[in-house]
Amino acid sequence: MPLLEIFTNVKSDAIPDGFLKNLNSVWQKAIGKPMQYMCVRLAPGETMNFGGTAEPCALLNVRSIGNLGKEENNAISKALTAEMGKLGVAPDRMYAVFTDISPQDVGFKNTTFAFLA
């Protein structure tokens, strides 16, 4: 149940065609989960400020049941930072916040992942 939420002040018309599809592929490879469970939310045009300026910036919420940890998060951060660079977001103008979620705390298919395992 990997979930990637991206909030950015980059305007929607500045998002290149195919960006979301490519991002989903990069994200899936970085987290190592089946594509059928991948979920990406991109919220462009947000009113945001980072470091005192409104230059391009982003906040990424990275959530997953497992496959997160010190080494994994570092690799995911590198992959996602590279993708955000394609939108003009510099590595020092974004945060990625990682949350490892318990299977019992995610509903799917009329139950939770705790019962699907």
Could you tell me the CATH number of the domain that includes residue 46?
3.30.429.10
Instruction: Respond yes or no: is residue 2 known to be catalytic.
Output: yes
- Residues found in the chain: 117
What is the pLDDT, as a whole number, of residue 116?
Answer: 87
Options 2, 16, 34, 56, the catalytic residue: 2
pTM of the model: 0.94
Q: Is the pLDDT of residue 20 over 80?
A: yes
Q: Is the pLDDT of residue 117 over 80?
A: no
| Beta strands at 3-8 and 58-64: parallel, antiparallel or unpaired | antiparallel
26-51: per-residue pLDDT in tens?
A: 999 999 999 999 999 999 999 999 99
Share of the chain above pLDDT 90, in %: 97
Average pLDDT, the chain: 97
Domain that holds residue 7: 3-116
Q: How many domains does the chain have?
A: 1
